[in-house]
Structure formats: structure tokens, C-alpha cells
């Protein structure tokens, strides 16, 4: 009886320790491409916005674009339940795109909820078609402002310093891959997916998404494996002590 009780305590402590260690840091606003975001090309990217409050909904998202790498083409995909505003600003130095001189670029995109927004316990993806991506940088750093229904504003604008811990409110960073072709084919597919006819996919429930679910499952299985391994070691140790009369 004493052996069973001791074993149960050891397993419970081990499991609690592993689960505590495996709990991820607080979720934050991030940006990821659909596929790849190649230098010099076009890509569809998603700004993923989790609701981190228990008593308020996310009702607005403002994404500020980097001025050092202006993007001449930024097109939002229609999103059910959200009003979208694209703000452009004059460029100090015009860009050349497809042989044409571009004198202004998108400086900010704002999504404002027309309904309840992102409820507690859910997240929302905000898609954009962007280009041409810079050829002289490995990443694009954005700034994001998340507004809740209680008027609280969380500013995701802190830069990540190499070799240092992640800041409390890190700015969304889009990693750029090596250039592949001229990117025109990617632009065509992105623009078609951003049309109203293709907007049906944006109406599916926020909770039903893809890679996030598979990542969570893999993480859970990994944690379970660690717990079982720890329990096995604990069982062996206690069994040895029991045989030796400890």
C-alpha cells in the first residue's frame, strides 16, 4: 500500500513538472505566409490575432507597415464581420514596379469589427496579399495594435533583439526566403484569392484551422511521451527500493 501511494505521488509530481515546463508563453500577434514569402516576389500572409482576455473581445486590429521597405501592392481579402480600411502615404523616394513609377505605398491596414469581433478563447486570421517583397532584407518587421471591447489597446511593437529573450509585446516579423523567379505567377494567384468571389473561405469558423491544430496535437503527444517516460523511471526506482526493503 505504501509502495502504491509513493508511486502515485512520484508520478503526479513528475507529470505536473513536465506540464508546467511545457506550457507555452503567452500568445501574441504574429504573421506567417501561406507557403513561402520569397524576396522580390508576392505572397499571401496572415496576421494571427489571439484573444488574451477573458472578459473582452478583440474589436480592432491595426497593422503598420515598415517605412524602410515600402510595399506598393497590398490587398486585403474580404473578411466577414470586419470593415477594412487601407491607408496609403506618399513615398520620399518613388518605387519602380513593372516599369511604372510608384509614388505612394500602403502604410497601414485597419480591421474594425462590425459585430462582436474575436471572442475570448478564440483567434482570428487576417489575410493580405503583399508585394513586391524587398530583395535586400531577410525579414519585414511590422507593428500591430490590438484593441479590445473594453477600450484596452495592446501595442505589439517591441523589436526582437538577437540573442536576447523575447520581449513582452514582440512586433510581428515576416521571414523572407530566397528569391524564386520573378514572382508574377504568385501575384496572379494571390490576387485571385483576394477577390470577393474567393472570399467564402473567410466565413468559416475561427476555431477550425489547420496547422495550429496539428501542432497542438503533436505537442500534446510529445508531452504525454515525456510523462510516461518519467513515470517508468520512477516505477523502476521505487520497485528497486521495495525489493531491497527500503
Domain locations in the chain? 2-22+216-243, 34-203
Count CB neighbours of 62 within 10 A.
Answer: 18
* 95-146 confidence digits (pLDDT tens): 776 677 788 889 999 999 999 999 999 999 999 999 899 999 999 999 999 9
Q: How far apart are CA 90 and CA 71, in angstroms?
A: 12
Mean pLDDT, rounded, for 8-35: 59
pTM over 0.85: no
* 55-94 confidence digits (pLDDT tens): 999 999 999 999 889 998 999 999 999 999 999 999 888 7
Question: What is the assigned CATH class of domain 34-203?
Answer: mainly beta
Amino acid at each position: 500500500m505504501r509502495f502504491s501511494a509513493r508511486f502515485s505521488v512520484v508520478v503526479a509530481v513528475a507529470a505536473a513538472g513536465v506540464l508546467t515546463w511545457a506550457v507555452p508563453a503567452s500568445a501574441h500577434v504574429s504573421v506567417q505566409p501561406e507557403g513561402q514569402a520569397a524576396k522580390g516576389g508576392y505572397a499571401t500572409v496572415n496576421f494571427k490575432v489571439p484573444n488574451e482576455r477573458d472578459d473582452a473581445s478583440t474589436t480592432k486590429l491595426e497593422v503598420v507597415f515598415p517605412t524602410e521597405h515600402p510595399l506598393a501592392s497590398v490587398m486585403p481579402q474580404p473578411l466577414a464581420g470586419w470593415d477594412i480600411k487601407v491607408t496609403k502615404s506618399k513615398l520620399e523616394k518613388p518605387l519602380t514596379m513593372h516599369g511604372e513609377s510608384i509614388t505612394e505605398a500602403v502604410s497601414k491596414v485597419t480591421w474594425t469589427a462590425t459585430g462582436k469581433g474575436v471572442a475570448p478563447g478564440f483567434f482570428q486570421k487576417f489575410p493580405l496579399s503583399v508585394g513586391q517583397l524587398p530583395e535586400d532584407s531577410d525579414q519585414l518587421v511590422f507593428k500591430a495594435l490590438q484593441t479590445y471591447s473594453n477600450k484596452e489597446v495592446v501595442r505589439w511593437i517591441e523589436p526582437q533583439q538577437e540573442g536576447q529573450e523575447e520581449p513582452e509585446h514582440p512586433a510581428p516579423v515576416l521571414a523572407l526566403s530566397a528569391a524564386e523567379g520573378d514572382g508574377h505567377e504568385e501575384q496572379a494567384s494571390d490576387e485571385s484569392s483576394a477577390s470577393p468571389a474567393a472570399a467564402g473561405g473567410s466565413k468559416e469558423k475561427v476555431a477550425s484551422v489547420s496547422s495550429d491544430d496539428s501542432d497542438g496535437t503533436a505537442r500534446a503527444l510529445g508531452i504525454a511521451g515525456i510523462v510516461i517516460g518519467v513515470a517508468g523511471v520512477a516505477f523502476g526506482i521505487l520497485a528497486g527500493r521495495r525489493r531491497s526493503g527500503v
